[in-house]
């Protein structure tokens, strides 16, 4: 879309026509600059929240809810065998596994 400049001397001069897209050439740079400012602040906020969570978990008593888990499996000869499963292999989320600490 082309716009004509309002020049009283040469209203019909084609050299005075302007593209609308040329009026905002710095908009992508402004958005990029704002993102560069906001992202480090969000990272520091996340670090602060996770640090507080680590400290809170350090103050909690030890959670032994998943310490004694056994799984029944059959061996090569078909015998049923019970095996103890370590907490790391139970596929727990960070909220379920209270021994989990966030690496900062």
The DSSP call for residue 98 is T
CB 4 within 8 A of CB 11: yes
Angle at 102 between CA 85 and CA 71, to 5 degrees: 10
pLDDT at position 17: 57
Q: What is the pLDDT of residues 20-43, one digit of tens each?
A: 556 666 888 899 999 999 999 999
pLDDT at 14: 52
With cut-offs at 50, 70 and 90, classify the pLDDT of residue 4.
low
Element spanning 73, H or E? strand 69-74
Question: pTM to 2 decimals?
Answer: 0.61
């Amino acid at each position: 879309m082309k716009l004509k400049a309002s020049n009283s001397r040469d209203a019909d001069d084609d050299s005075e026509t302007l593209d609308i897209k040329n009026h905002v050439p710095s908009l992508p740079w402004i958005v990029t600059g704002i993102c560069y400012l906001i992202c480090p602040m969000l990272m520091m906020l996340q670090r602060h929240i996770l640090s507080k969570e680590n400290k809170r978990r350090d103050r909690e008593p030890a959670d032994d809810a998943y310490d004694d888990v056994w799984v029944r499996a059959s061996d090569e000869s078909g015998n049923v065998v019970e095996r103890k499963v370590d907490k790391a292999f139970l596929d727990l989320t960070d909220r379920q596994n209270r021994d989990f600490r966030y690496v900062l």
